[in-house]
Amino acid sequence: MGILTDRDRAAVTDELAKLVGPVKLVVFGAQLGDGAEYSAETERLVREVAECSDQVAVEAYNLHIDREKAAAYGIDRVPAVVVEGARDYGIRFFGIPAGYEFSNLIDGMQVAASGEPKLSPETLERVRGLTNPVHVQVFTTPT
């Protein structure tokens, strides 16, 4: 049995029909140790989402085996999902993106596909001046 219900799939299909370009979901997991519990479920969820759109591709890696990939994406814990569009914009999910975070996963896919953030002109102007790395971590809970 899948994670997404038929109703979920229909809603996701509708949302992903709005994708204006390809999206790649890069999933990192582990079979043993920290994060193993939710790794398989995260990959299953991501694959079910990808089945809802021809624009979405999935790559899955093991944190402990595919170390170079993990390092390249800056992934040091799992489960993790990278949402890539034309390039890796820096959109990450740590932990299964379910519950409240599921809508953020879909939104992240849409903005990665378009490459056009929905932000005010003032915000865009302000962040244009950045010249150093900014790491924003938002802690959430699924319910």
5 versus 123: smaller Cβ distance to other proteins: 123
10 versus 127: smaller Cβ distance to other proteins: 127
7 versus 133: smaller Cβ distance to other proteins: 133
Binding site for other proteins (CB under 8 A): 35, 38, 74, 77, 79, 83, 85, 89-97, 101, 104, 107-108, 111-112, 115-120, 122-124, 126-128, 130-142
Give the Cβ contact number of residue 62 at 10 Å.
17
CA–CA separation, 119 and 136 (whole Å): 16
Query: Least distance in Å: CB of 95 to other proteins?
Result: 3
Task: Decide if 19 contacts 110 (C-beta within 8 A).
Answer: yes
Q: Is 133 helix (H, G, I), strand (E, B) or coil?
A: coil
6 versus 122: smaller Cβ distance to other proteins: 122
For residue 128, what are its two tokens? 């244009």
For residue 109, give every residue at least 6 positions away whose Cβ sits within 8 Å of its Cβ, in sequence order, or none: 16, 19, 23, 25, 49, 56, 83
Query: Least distance in Å: CB of 6 to other proteins?
Result: 26
Query: Least distance in Å: CB of 39 to other proteins?
Result: 10
